[in-house]
Amino acid sequence: MNSNPKVLILTASYGNGHVQVANTMYEQCKKSGIDNVVICDLYSESHPVFSEITQYLYIKSFSIGKQFYRLFYYGVDKMYNKRMMNLYYKIGHKKLHEIILAEKPDIIINTFPMIVVPEYRRKTGTVIPTFNVLTDFCLHKIWVHENIDKYYVATNHVKEKIIQLGIHPSSIKVTGIPIRPQFEKEADKDELYKKYELDPSKKTLLIMAGAHGVLKNVKELCQSFLSNKNLQIIVVCGKNQSLKETLAPLANAYPDQLKALGYVEKVDELFRITSCMITKPGGITLSEASAIGVPVILYKPVPGQEKENAIFFEETGAAVVVNKYEDIYDTVQEVFSNDELLGSMKDNIHKLHLSDSSSTILEDILKEAAGMYSRKEMKGSVNYY
């Protein structure tokens, strides 16, 4: 393998997390002097209609389609070795073959569990060092395959789960989940309080309402919190313009207590001046929260990896999970009135953070791949690119 290898990063647009991790690894490659890097959304490129439909169903799973997603997430486990998995093995095979012939990658990094990639090695005999970067604090079996060369995971908890499936411990490295570098940089909090016109002497509740299905009746919830004069609320509406417009009259009436924002590019700034936030338990959001040490209230997790993430964070004392809308107000009031609980949650979530994950992962991948190519040169019998 040459000193400037060709890296192919494969991902999928089911939620923003997988793509975000792919982009973070791409930027890390560039930062490390690796110029030949390609990101491919394999399913969108190979089966655009199928991908569009399933992405739509994924989004709907946060509201009306929870039973569908529960069936997919937990059902795949049950049919893991059955005939229906054959379809999943094959999806994207033709496109993957085309990409490999065109790009001739030295390394493949997966930020989404695509069995077609390790299956490609089994079927063709073509060995390209292949690595899985897991994007949650739980494990689904479809990440695991005998032809994956190494796994990079968030916690020892996930590592143990992979070991139980028969993977050797040396093939699993606990690195944390790659996040955007701004979450690990220092920032002047006083300047941020001024920028967002917030009072540093008051507690701040951040509501990440832009993501699919995080919270309903946001306006009513904000109205109920306004009675607490020592609490200021920031609602990030993201691309949900209608929600921002709905909140605008209330925000204008209570400018010192409520801020309704659209899409926020530097959301890490808000994390730094937040006492606690309500969000959905996506792996990336939780990783970013842990980097800064933001206690989280996780509302009504969707069955699947988000529910598993929520359970893990609640069990480690880093989060409170709320499953009923009518319990949110009381939970928030309880958390904000208990400084000892807030402090404990802050400490516990920050303990889950592992810094410089993308750098650690890439450095290890390059070392592992170089070792594989070195062994290949000695054996000289396997088809490598």
* Residues 221-273: tens digit of each pLDDT: 999 999 899 999 999 998 888 899 999 999 999 999 999 999 999 999 999 99
Distances, alpha carbon 116 to alpha carbons 55, 90, 186, 267, 293, in Å? 19, 6, 41, 35, 37
**For residue 18, what are the contacts with CB-CB under 8 A and spacing of at least 6?**
11, 12, 111, 112, 135
In a domain, 322, yes or no: yes
Are 317 and 305 members of one domain? yes
Distance CA(68)–CA(83), nearest Å, equals 20
Are 222 and 248 members of one domain? yes
Are 246 and 221 members of one domain? yes
End-to-end CA distance of the chain, in Å? 9
Which residue matches tokens 């496109």?
A: 95
Paired tokens of 115: 């069995």
69, with CB counted inside 10 A (0-12, 13-18, 19+), is: buried
Are 79 and 200 members of one domain? no
In a domain, 1, yes or no: no
pLDDT at 307 over 80: yes
In a domain, 341, yes or no: yes
In a domain, 2, yes or no: no
Domain of residue 45 covers 7-176+355-384
Among 222, 255, 221, 261, which Cα is nearest to 241's? Answer: 261
Which residue matches tokens 């049919």?
A: 79
For residue 120, what pLDDT is reported?
Answer: 87
CATH code (residue 43): 3.40.50.2000
The partner residues of 240 in beta bridges, in order of sequence, read: none
pLDDT at 128 over 90: yes
Residue 164 pLDDT level (bands cut at 50, 70, 90): very high
Are 363 and 245 members of one domain? no
Angle between helices 17-31 and 357-379 (to 10 degrees): 70
Are 361 and 291 members of one domain? no
Distances, alpha carbon 236 to alpha carbons 103, 288, 309, in Å? 40, 16, 22
For residue 239, what pLDDT is reported?
Answer: 84
Distance CA(242)–CA(195), nearest Å, equals 25
Are 282 and 343 members of one domain? yes
Residue 352 pLDDT level (bands cut at 50, 70, 90): very high
What is residue 302's DSSP assignment? P
Helix, strand or coil for residue 299? strand
Are 207 and 262 members of one domain? yes
What is residue 91's DSSP assignment? T
Paired tokens of 19: 């793509």
Are 281 and 373 members of one domain? no
In a domain, 110, yes or no: yes
Are 216 and 250 members of one domain? yes
288 membership: H or E segment, kind and range: helix 283-292
Residue 115 pLDDT level (bands cut at 50, 70, 90): confident
Which residue matches tokens 């701004």?
A: 182
Give pLDDT tens digits for 84-95. 455 555 566 778
In a domain, 342, yes or no: yes
The partner residues of 126 in beta bridges, in order of sequence, read: 383
Task: Name the least confident of 59-73, 133-147, 329-343.
Answer: 59-73
**For residue 43, what are the contacts with CB-CB under 8 A and spacing of at least 6?**
12, 50, 51, 54, 91, 92, 114
**pTM of the complete model:** 0.87
In a domain, 219, yes or no: yes
For residue 132, what pLDDT is reported?
Answer: 97
Are 67 and 216 members of one domain? no
Q: Please give the tally of structural domains in the chain.
A: 2
The partner residues of 236 in beta bridges, in order of sequence, read: 208, 261
Are 364 and 241 members of one domain? no
pLDDT at 345 over 70: yes
